[in-house]
Amino acid sequence: MKIGLVSGEFPPMPGGVGDFTRILGERLREHGQDPHVLSRAGSTSDSLPVSAVSSWGPGCIPAVRAWIRQNRIAVVNLQYQTAAYDMSPFIHVLPKTLSVPVVTTFHDLRHPYLFPKAGPLRDRIVMHLARSSAGVICSNHEDDRRLQALANRRLIPIGSSVPSITDGANDAAAWRRRACPDDDAFLLGHFGFLKAIKGLDFLIEAMANLHAAGCKLRLLLIGGRSNTVDKSEDAAYLRRLEGRIQQLGLQDLVTWTGFLPDHELAACFQAVDLMALPFTDGASFRRSSLIAALHNGCAVLTTEPAMNIDIFRHASNLWLVPARSSAAIEKALRRLMRDPEQLTRLRAGAAELSAHFDWDVIARSTIDFLQSSI
């Protein structure tokens, strides 16, 4: 089956949706399919045919049509995240303008910005995309519940964009020495672009209190600070966060890695004692940073899900705390820093939980749903 994968971002541009699209395309090919990618200029791949549009403005519609004809695409799988398409409204009308079925994968169904004073139109335009698609794939429980009125939908989680490694002990040790020169200090890790919704400011406040109380801990911030697609959106938050770190005198306790290749990212995951991911809206399948940490067998502290997710179990595979509470994070860290056995249980639980995000399962489920939607 010739499958067209349309994504607003794609490697080498950093971004979770682009990484997901690349890996999904590679796995679809391994499962006997013929995937083709359409993204923005500069996108490349050694294993997949990649075409580009000049922009996501009105000219993208005839460009997508020509790409479909040229490659004889049977079904389009649109990877949807508004920011990745430069806030363009035109991507939302693709299902009504193309000659082949469009199945939309919603990576995040929350309201996009779109343009000033868009108001209720923001919700209507996204729901128009969902209703006009031949089928919808939800990557998380929140979006699946919101679209429950649509009959042809399926919950298929995202997988990890960071591969686990088994021979990276030396690299992991090097990162630990760099971030944690005190051998007996407790090393926290955080992964992903720095946005307000990631809740890192609450972690910083908890760290400051623990440091003032004499606890020896450090923080490794893994990956780039901002996405090249929507970096302006959270620039102010990043400036405030950096200023707060300086104000609290924590700058010597925080190491920023910047963008890293996959094997270095995996080494950083291995180097830390605990991944701290205090999302302000709770743990969710939509969080690629959480899935990457689980895939790499990390002990993870994160925030309680906004809705019940039965496979997330406190003290078994995740350590869950209330959202938006530096006090709760501080209390949890005091407990976990002196309980290595609990950290071991969390690592074992993470390894079991990661099976739910296996790429082969994701690829097979996607193929089955696309075929049923044609």
User: Both tokens of residue 322?
Assistant: 């209330």
What's the pLDDT score for residue 126? 87
Is the distance from CB of 211 to CB of 171 less than 8 angstroms? Answer: no
pLDDT at residue 83 in the model: 77
Cα–Cα distance for residue pair 89/129, rounded to 1 Å = 10
- Cα–Cα dist 203/184, whole Å: 20
Cis peptide before 12 (omega within 30 of 0): yes
Measured CA to CA, the distance from residue 217 to residue 61 in angstroms comes to 52
pLDDT for 254 equals 97
Low-confidence ranges of the chain (pLDDT < 70): 110-122, 166-168, 227-233
Return the residue matching tokens 């309201």.
Answer: 111
| CA 251 – CA 192 distance, rounded (Å) | 19
Whether 169-357 and 2-159+358-373 are alike in CATH topology: the answer is yes
Indicate the pTM of the whole model.
Answer: 0.90
> Domain 2-159+358-373 has what CATH class?
alpha beta
| Three-state secondary structure readout of the chain | CEEEEEECCCCCCCCHHHHHHHHHHHHHHHCCCEEEEEEECCCCCCCCCEEEECCCCCCHHHHHHHHHHHHCCCEEEEEECHHHHCCCCHHHHHHHHCCCCEEEEECCCCCCCCCCCCCCHHHHHHHHHHHHCCEEEECCHHHHHHCCCCCCEEECCCCCCCCCCCCCHHHHHHHHHHHCCCCCCEEEEEECCCCHHHCHHHHHHHHHHHHHCCCCEEEEEEECCCCCCCHHHHHHHHHHHHHHHHHCCCHHHEEECECCCHHHHHHHHHHCCEEEECCCCCCCCCCHHHHHHHHCCCCEEEECCCCCCCCCCECCCEEEECCCCHHHHHHHHHHHHCCHHHHHHHHHHHHHHHHHHCHHHHHHHHHHHHHHHC
Structure tokens, 63: 């460009």
Backbone φ and ψ of 125, nearest 5°: -70, -35
- Predicted local confidence at residue 196, as pLDDT: 93
**What are the tens digits of pLDDT across the range 182-237?**
878 999 999 998 999 999 999 999 999 999 999 999 999 999 887 655 556 678 89
Classify domain 169-357 at the CATH topology level: Rossmann fold (3.40.50)
- The 3 state secondary structure assigned to 292-315 is HHHHCCCCEEEECCCCCCCCCCEC
Q: Where are the domains of the chain?
A: 2-159+358-373, 169-357
